[in-house]
Amino acid sequence: MSQKRPSHPADAAGRTYRAFGLKAEAEPLAPGLHIVATPIGNLADISLRALATLAAADAVVAEDTRVTKTLLAHYGIATPLVTYHEHNAAVMRPHLIARLQTGAALALVSDAGTPLISDPGFKLVVAALEAGIAVTSVPGASAVLAALVVAGLPTDRFFFEGFLPPKSAARRQRIGALKAIPGTLVFFESPRRLLATLSDLGDLLGNRDAAFARELTKFFETVRRGPIFSLAAELADEPIPKGELVLLVGPPLETVPDPAEIDAKLRGALASHSLRDAVSIVAAETGLARRQVYAKAVAIAGSLRKP
């Protein structure tokens, strides 16, 4: 049975938005939950599709309506706003799902960037999908990707951790769990904790290459790059930075095992294991290819058998 879309106050006058100094009318929007990315700082970083979606929706579901109201006003959009954040999510979610089930088209936004990245939108999306409601993405700005592409660190693999725990003990435990991930690590961090977090990262991960991006896309955008210990030393002599931060740390440092150390490991392993097992053990410990370790093991085993 087809769902009838509820009426909207803007239906009579048309759902409109302004762009490039011109007024445009938005096309009708399909019922369902529309996940709309908004600017992370520069208000120009929004797509025409996002503007049309926000204008045509029956309501915009926002974390902080004061923040979203500024964006909508900038583009001449008069769509009603509904508050949805971590403190009221459990109460509001059933109401939003019920509204969607009547055929409403709702646009979900976060305060900045792409929704669901470190915000409560995930549970709303899951509830909508479980209720058989269509969920559509309207992609756009993301602080994670914006920082990653200017950091100068490997981008082929990355892991987004979000915020680390604020207390040092819990933070260090979590950093330890991330140590072996073979990609760039991406964090959100408070300026007040940046120096302490860099210190913990250096202690547990070593002096990896790192970067932090502050106030991305805004007038005072700053990207600092360098080894962890160098960045920490620089920040120790500076005022606490202001603005939102994305902190990035490069993959594990590649180290070349000392040949003498490899020989010592093989001798120890061969003393109590077969040649095959000794090769497997040392290859796993050093990260070297089995064929490299095998050639050394054969030579050492031969020397051990000589009278």
Check which CATH number belongs to the domain holding 183 and give it: 3.30.950.10
Same domain, 148 and 232: yes
- The crossing angle, in degrees rounded to 10, of helices 121-130 and 89-101 is 40
Q: What is the pLDDT of residue 258?
A: 79
Same domain, 185 and 226: yes
Same domain, 293 and 192: no
Same domain, 202 and 282: no
Q: What is the pLDDT of residues 213-245, one digit of tens each?
A: 999 999 999 999 999 999 999 999 899 888 889
Q: What is the pLDDT of residue 168?
A: 94
Q: What is the pLDDT of residues 40-98, one digit of tens each?
A: 999 999 999 999 999 999 999 999 999 999 999 999 999 999 999 999 999 999 999 99
Q: Is residue 11 part of a domain?
A: no
Check which CATH number belongs to the domain holding 71 and give it: 3.40.1010.10
* Structural domain ending residue among the three candidates 141, 175, 193: 141
The rounded distance, in Å, linking the Cα atoms of 36 and 63 is: 13
Q: What is the pLDDT of residue 255?
A: 67
Return the number of other C-beta atoms located less than 10 Å from residue 128's C-beta.
22
Domain range spanning residue 62?
16-141
Q: Is residue 1 part of a domain?
A: no
Identify the segments of the chain with pLDDT beneath 50.
1-2, 6-13
Instruction: Please classify residue 110 by burial: count the beta carbons closer than 10 Å to its beta carbon, then call 0-12 exposed, 13-18 middle and 19+ buried.
Output: buried
Same domain, 137 and 148: no
Could you give the number of structural domains in the chain?
3
Residue bearing tokens 């011109």 = 22
Same domain, 192 and 275: no
Q: Is residue 54 part of a domain?
A: yes
Q: What is the pLDDT of residue 12?
A: 34
